[in-house]
Amino acid sequence: MKKTLCFYFQIHQPVRLRRYRFFDIGKRHDYFDEYVNRSTIRRVAERCYLPMNHLIMDLIKRYGTNFKVSFSISGSALEQFALHAPEVIESFKELAKTGSVEFLAETYAHSLASLSDTDEFERQVQRHAAKMEELFGQKPVTLRNSSLIYSDQIGERVAAMGFESMLTDGAKHVLGWKSPNFVYTNVMNPRLKLLLKNSRLSDDLTLRFSDHSWHEWPLTADKYARWLKDSTQDSEIVNLFMNYETFGENQLAETGIFEFMRSLPEYIFSTTDFEFLTPSEAVKKHQPVAPLHVPYPISWADEEKDITGWLGNELQNEAFEELFKIQPKVEALNDPELNEDYSRLQASDHFYYMRTKLFSDNDYHRYVSPYETPYEAFINYMNVLSDFVARVEDMEKMRNIAGNKITEEEKSPEKKKRTPRVKSAESAAKATKKVSTKEKQVKSKH
């Protein structure tokens, strides 16, 4: 039986926040930096999405259905493509027509909702799956959670939603002596099949491809094909999961990354016994070898492969708690503008910018963060969130008033404006004071 090679690409772009000051709270509700969002989308579309989609289309034309890949595209990325680079969506639609591309489901906002105790996770996944069917004519049967975040409990929720399979990381502390090159199942519901990222082989492309200090540089397609073949001598499948921005954005065109990908299938077909399959095809072909017990959430981030990149300090935890505390009210109000802002504020990127932990690729993540410090990221986010919470509470009060007998005093527009503004200002002041104290404590330790 042929071995399986499963390529999966993640595409996500957050809607970036503008600098939102304490004194903006209660006065303006335009939270997002449209100039930065537009320029970022255009740049990455021209460097990565369009040329890489063109390359994949060429490979499909050359090899037919023997060459296959899969994508997960966040809702926030799709919305920005529609605004700033609609040709990107059209190129994905053309790929969808080939029958060689599978589109997966994920959280619409690329959020951390699966780590909350709300029903926001299910709601976002359903919204995203509907979008995939609308745009690409595919009803997803495989789910990829934000940053491959997974645990036994999350997997059980995903199985209950009717998905057949899910992607996550082959974290060493979870696998132990086991290999990521097999299909596993959720320990609580074995109907859900698990595909695990082969981190070493995936990171050879995403992190090390252009590193001249790497002892294996330069990495060529024939060498990589040999590594793939050697990795499955006693196993069945290699899952190469990576950000799509690897091609042309993180690894620039001049590194040779496009030429590498263009020539890789030829070496795969001529020197190995691999076949390219999509995730849904892979789990149908291979029988699971065992359940995988993951009691605590894992991800594909950092060396620890956990969630501390997003929820590893008090700043991140406070922001997360405040964001999801308001979720039931937002859902009950079901106001289109509030829903849109709430979705954008959930992007996991906002929490990642608040990280204070040290990690091996620290310099890279400093580069992608728009903030000088995690504390600046926290203050900016909490200012925005304070204003958003005030808007939610204000609308809730107005609807409650409308449902009861309205007195002349309750009709006063001045009262409606003052109440949420004072409350939100107090909330932001408290957050600012707390983060200032934390920053002093950190500085004193160093």
**pLDDT for the residue 357:** 79
Cis amide bond preceding 218, omega within 30: yes
Query: In order of start, what are the domains of the chain with their CATH numbers?
Result: 1-308 (3.20.110.20)
For range 178-193, the mean pLDDT: 98
Tokens standing for residue 142: 């495989």
**How would you classify residue 140: left for phi > 0, otherwise alpha for psi between -120 and 50, otherwise beta?**
beta
pLDDT of 148 higher than 90: yes
- Classify strands 183-186 and 193-197 as parallel, antiparallel or unpaired: antiparallel
- CA-CA-CA-CA torsion sign (30, 32, 33, 38): negative
Label residue 402 by pLDDT band (50, 70, 90): confident
- What is the model's pLDDT at position 345? 98
Cβ atoms of residues 306 and 149 within 8 Å = no
Which residues does 433 contact at the CB level (< 8 Å), separation at least 6? none
Rg (CA), the chain: 23
60 touches 91 (CB < 8 A): no
The answer to whether the beta carbons of residues 150 and 195 sit under 8 Å apart is: no
Q: Which tokens hold the place of 27?
A: 């006065």
Tokens standing for residue 146: 């934000």
Predicted pLDDT at 346: 98
Checking if the pLDDT of 251 tops 80, the result is: yes
DSSP for 297-335, please give it: -B-SSTTTTSSHHHHSSHHHHHHHHHHHHTHHHHHHH--
Report pLDDT digits (tens) over 386-397: 999 999 999 999
Q: Which residues are registered as beta bridge partners of 298?
A: 150
> 193 is written with which tokens?
């099949």
CA distances in angstroms from 339 to 188, 351, 371, listed in the order given: 33, 19, 26
pLDDT of residue 403: 76
The C-alpha atoms of residue 263 and residue 247 are separated, in whole angstroms, by 14
pLDDT attached to residue 434: 53
Which residue did the predictor score with more confidence, 407 or 102?
102
Could you read off the pLDDT of 29-86 as tens digits, one per residue? 999 999 999 999 999 999 999 999 999 999 999 999 999 999 999 999 999 999 999 9
Average pLDDT, the chain: 91
For residue 190, pLDDT beyond 60: yes
pLDDT in tens, 279-322: 999 999 999 999 999 999 999 998 899 999 999 999 999 999 99
Looking at residues 206-234, what average pLDDT do you find?
97
CB 410 within 8 A of CB 401: yes
Q: What is the mean pLDDT of residues 181-191?
A: 98
d(CA 109, CA 143): 14
Cβ atoms of 297 and 150 closer than 8 Å? yes
Q: With CA atoms as reference, report the closest residue to 92 among 71, 68, 110.
A: 71
pLDDT per position as a tens digit, 312-357: 999 999 999 999 999 999 999 999 999 999 999 999 999 999 999 7
For range 240-263, the mean pLDDT: 98
| Out of 228-232, 357-361, 382-386, 423-427, least confident range | 423-427
Q: Is the pLDDT of residue 445 over 90?
A: no
Q: Is the pLDDT of residue 404 over 90?
A: no
Q: What pLDDT is stored for residue 422 in this prediction? A: 36
Residue 401: the pLDDT is 86
Q: Each residue of 103-146: pLDDT tens digit?
A: 999 999 999 999 999 999 999 999 999 999 999 999 999 999 99
The pLDDT of residue 424 is above 70: no
Q: How far apart are the first and last CA of the chain?
A: 58
